[in-house]
Structure 1
C-alpha cells in the first residue's frame, strides 16, 4: 500500500511539469458579440459572468488551472466551448450561423444546460436566476430576429 501511494505521489508531481497554455487569443473589440450587437450593460454583465470564461477569448483561469490533471480538463473544456461558440469572434460568423448560434444559446439556457453545473460550483456569480434566464432568452431572441431580418435584404 505504501508503494502504491508513493507511485501516485510521484506521478502527481511529474504531471505538474506539463502545464496548460493559458494564453488567450487576441481580442478584437470589433469582432466581439457584446460590441457589435450593442448589448445593454446589464445584459452584457450577465453574459460576461455566465458565458465568457468558456465561450470567448477572455478566459480567466482560476487557481486550480495550475494543478494537473484538473488543468487539463479545464483547458479541454475551454477549447471545446470556444469551438462551439466564441463570442469574441462572433462577427466572423455568417449571419445565418449567427442566428443559429443564438438559437442554440436560447435552447441551452431554457434547458438549464448552460452554464454548466460544474462551472457554477466554482463561479457562483455565473448562476442564472429565473429573472436573468428570462432576460438572456429575451435578448438572444431579439438579436436573433434582428439578424434574420437583416439576412432578408
Structure 2
C-alpha cells in the first residue's frame, strides 16, 4: 500500500512539472508607459530599482532556476502578480496622477518600515537588500517625484 501511495505521489510530482505558469517577461521592451519614459530617473535610482524592485514590480521579471520546479514556480508567479497589482513601474504612465502620487507615498512608507523588498525575496536574492544609502536615495527620489507629480496635476 505504501509503495502505491509513493508511486502515485511521484507521478503527481512529475505531472505538475508540465503545468507551468505564464512568465512575466518582456525583456528589452520599454513602452511609453514605463516610469523611465514618464519621468527622469537618476542612474543610481534606476540601478536600485533594477536590483531590488523590478522583479516583482515591472513587466520584466528575472526568473532564477528554481522557479522551473513546480509548485515553486506557481508560488513565485503569485508573488509577482501581487507585486504588480500594488505597483507596476512598466505601467506607471497608465496611473492617474493621484495614483502615481499614492504609489510614491507608499514607496516611502514601505522602505521606512523595512517592508520591501520582502524577506522571502531576500532569502534567495541577497544582492537586493537595500543599504541605508539605498533607502535614503529611494526615499529622497520618491519625495521629489511626488512634488513633480503634484506640479503636473
TM-score (norm 2): 0.91
Residue 126 of structure 1 pairs with residue 128 of structure 2: yes
Deviates most, 48-57 or 32-41: 32-41
Structure 1 outlier segments of 4+, above 6 Å: none
Partner of 1:50: 52
> Does structure 1 conserve the Cα–Cα contact (< 8 Å) formed by 2:24 and 2:60?
no
Partner of 2:90: 88
Residue 9 of structure 1 pairs with residue 10 of structure 2: yes
Partner of 1:21: 22
- How far does the alpha carbon of each residue in 1:33-63 deviate from its partner, in whole angstroms, 9 at most, with x for none? 1332111111110011111011001111111
> Does structure 1 conserve the Cα–Cα contact (< 8 Å) formed by 2:52 and 2:129?
yes
CA deviation after TM superposition for structure 1 residue 145, in Å: 1.4
Deviates most, 55-64 or 32-41: 32-41
SS in 2 for 1:54: helix
Deviates most, 18-27 or 90-99: 18-27
- How far does the alpha carbon of each residue in 1:49-85 deviate from its partner, in whole angstroms, 9 at most, with x for none? 1110110011111111111000000111111111111
CA distance in structure 1 between the partners assigned to 2:75 and 2:130 by the alignment: 23
> Does structure 1 conserve the Cα–Cα contact (< 8 Å) formed by 2:57 and 2:87?
yes
CA deviation after TM superposition for structure 1 residue 8, in Å: 2.7
Residue 116 of structure 1 pairs with residue 81 of structure 2: no
Q: 1:145 aligns with which of 144, 147, 151?
A: 147
> Does structure 1 conserve the Cα–Cα contact (< 8 Å) formed by 2:66 and 2:72?
yes
TM-score (norm 1): 0.91
The two structures, once aligned, show a CA RMSD in angstroms of 1.6
Gaps of 5+ in 1: none
SS in 2 for 1:146: helix
SS in 1 for 2:114: coil
- How far does the alpha carbon of each residue in 1:93-135 deviate from its partner, in whole angstroms, 9 at most, with x for none? 1111100011111111111111101111111221001111111
Size of the aligned set, in residue pairs, is: 151
